[in-house]
């Protein structure tokens, strides 16, 4: 592989001059710059990011720890984070924790070993003391970690309010909220607070049903949903805390002879691609994933550069009305 010396030899310039050109330091003539660019291309010279990382003590890499890559919500967040990181010339080192604490700790160690510029966590019930020795920014997205540098969240409380209002305004009178994981405290828990507040203000019967980590990790809710529809036959509106749950609720409703939205109105959360691929399509609360991703990257790089960043940032959600609960179809 070509080295800096080879580029210098090819151009007739000194190694110092070539290095200055590559790092944009000091005055450089247009002619020298063009010479170096031509030589780099001819010799297929690639700046050694590894050597650069060693001298800078940190690399052009951001560690990203997620619980389940193939959960479509996380896939969409990863895609957006990758996109935003690239704009700042950073790369993403990807870790799939499978919601396992041991994995999370191991991956944080791997991030340190690889001298990442910072870590973004979307996974984690890891305790504070475990992060000792972490001298890079730690940004969380939709997770509670007291020790993090900054926490990025969507407006879960308002999302819960919107879901309740949409169901009630479309005519639902008896509501369930199939909510987040029982075992872990998460920002998403605020959805049920907002949901209950609206139901109570409007005098609408409602109940919250918590789900389990096991269901979350497997993405399998059919059994729970069948039991719920049989136990609460009078329910005519359900707020599902993810579109994956909402999709399975459509399937179970059909098996039990309930029509969506005529007999049962459904509002999901996340607004990922599944929401528009089901029949009927799913009305869903959209997380501002793109904005959350760009904020996470910005805060990480700002904090790494020693700037002060907000410790918590809440971004607005919006309702995306589709067929499963629509004002145009009020029955």
Query: Which of these, 280, 243, 268, lies nearest to 319 by C-alpha position?
Result: 268
Q: How far is CA 194 from the centre of its chain?
A: 21
Decide: is 49 part of the binding site for a copy of itself (CB under 8 A): yes
Both tokens assigned to 215: 């269901």
State the burial class of residue 330 (Cβ atoms within 10 Å of its Cβ: 0-12, 13-18, 19+).
exposed
The beta-strand segments (E) located in the chain are 61-66, 91-96, 118-121, 138-141, 150-154, 174-181, 205-211, 237-240, 265-270, 283-286, 312-315, 318-320
In the list 39, 198, 244, 267, the residue contacting a copy of itself (rule: CB under 8 A) is 244
In the list 53, 204, 256, 315, the residue contacting a copy of itself (rule: CB under 8 A) is 53
In the list 4, 20, 32, 83, the residue contacting a copy of itself (rule: CB under 8 A) is 83
Decide: is 46 part of the binding site for a copy of itself (CB under 8 A): yes
Contact 150, 299 (CB under 8 A): yes
In the list 95, 157, 269, 299, the residue contacting a copy of itself (rule: CB under 8 A) is 95
Q: How far is the CB of 160 from a copy of itself (least distance, A)?
A: 23
Residues 206-225 that bind a copy of itself (CB under 8 A): 219
Decide: is 23 part of the binding site for a copy of itself (CB under 8 A): no
Contact 107, 317 (CB under 8 A): no
Q: Which residue's CB is nearer to a copy of itself, number 85 or number 199?
A: 85
**Overall residue count recorded for the chain in this entry:** 331
Query: Which of these, 6, 217, 193, lies nearest to 96 by C-alpha position?
Result: 217
Cis amide bond preceding 261, omega within 30: yes
In the list 17, 65, 72, 172, the residue contacting a copy of itself (rule: CB under 8 A) is 72
Contact 110, 78 (CB under 8 A): no
Q: Which residue's CB is nearer to a copy of itself, number 84 or number 161?
A: 84
- Binding mask of the shown chain, residues 105 to 144, with x at each position contacting a copy of itself by CB under 8 A: ----xx-xxxx----------------xx-x---------
Q: How far is the CB of 105 from a copy of itself (least distance, A)?
A: 12
- Binding mask of the shown chain, residues 156 to 175, with x at each position contacting a copy of itself by CB under 8 A: --------------------
Query: Which of these, 148, 107, 101, lies nearest to 126 by C-alpha position?
Result: 101
Decide: is 24 part of the binding site for a copy of itself (CB under 8 A): no
Binding-site ranges for a copy of itself (CB under 8 A): 1-2, 44, 46-51, 53-54, 59-61, 68-70, 72, 75-76, 78-79, 82-83, 86, 91-96, 109-110, 112-115, 132-133, 135, 219, 244, 247-248, 250-251, 254, 273-274, 277-279, 281
């Amino acid at each position: 592989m070509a080295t800096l010396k080879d580029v210098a030899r090819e151009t007739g310039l000194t190694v110092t001059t070539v290095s200055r050109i590559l790092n944009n330091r000091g005055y450089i003539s247009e002619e020298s710059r063009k010479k170096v660019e031509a030589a780099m291309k001819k010799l297929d010279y690639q700046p050694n990011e590894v050597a650069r990382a060693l001298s800078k003590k940190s690399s052009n890499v951001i560690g990203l720890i997620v619980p389940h890559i193939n959960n479509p919500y996380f896939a969409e967040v990863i895609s957006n984070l990758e996109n935003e990181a690239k704009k700042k010339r950073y790369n993403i080192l990807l870790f799939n924790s499978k919601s396992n604490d041991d994995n999370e700790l191991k991956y944080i160690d791997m991030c340190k070993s690889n001298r990442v510029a910072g870590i973004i966590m979307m996974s984690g019930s890891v305790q504070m003391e475990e992060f000792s020795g972490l001298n890079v920014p730690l940004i969380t997205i939709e997770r509670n970690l007291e020790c993090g540098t900054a926490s990025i969240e969507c407006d879960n409380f308002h999302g819960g309010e919107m879901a309740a209002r949409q169901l009630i305004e479309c005519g639902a009178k008896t509501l369930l909220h199939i909510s987040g994981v029982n075992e872990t405290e998460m920002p998403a828990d605020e959805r049920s607070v907002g949901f209950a507040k609206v139901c109570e203000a409007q005098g609408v019967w409602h109940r919250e049903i918590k789900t389990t980590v096991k269901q979350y990790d497997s993405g399998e809710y059919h059994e729970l949903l069948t039991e719920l529809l049989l136990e609460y036959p009078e329910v005519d509106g359900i707020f599902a805390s993810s579109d994956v749950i909402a999709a399975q609720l459509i399937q179970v409703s059909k098996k039990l002879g309930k029509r969506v939205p005529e007999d049962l109105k459904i509002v999901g959360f996340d607004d990922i691609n599944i929401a528009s691929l089901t029949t009927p399509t799913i009305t869903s609360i959209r997380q501002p994933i793109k904005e959350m991703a760009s904020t996470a990257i910005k805060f990480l790089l700002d904090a790494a550069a020693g700037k002060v960043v907000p410790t918590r940032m809440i971004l607005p959600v919006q309702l995306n009305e589709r067929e499963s609960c629509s004002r145009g179809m009020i029955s």
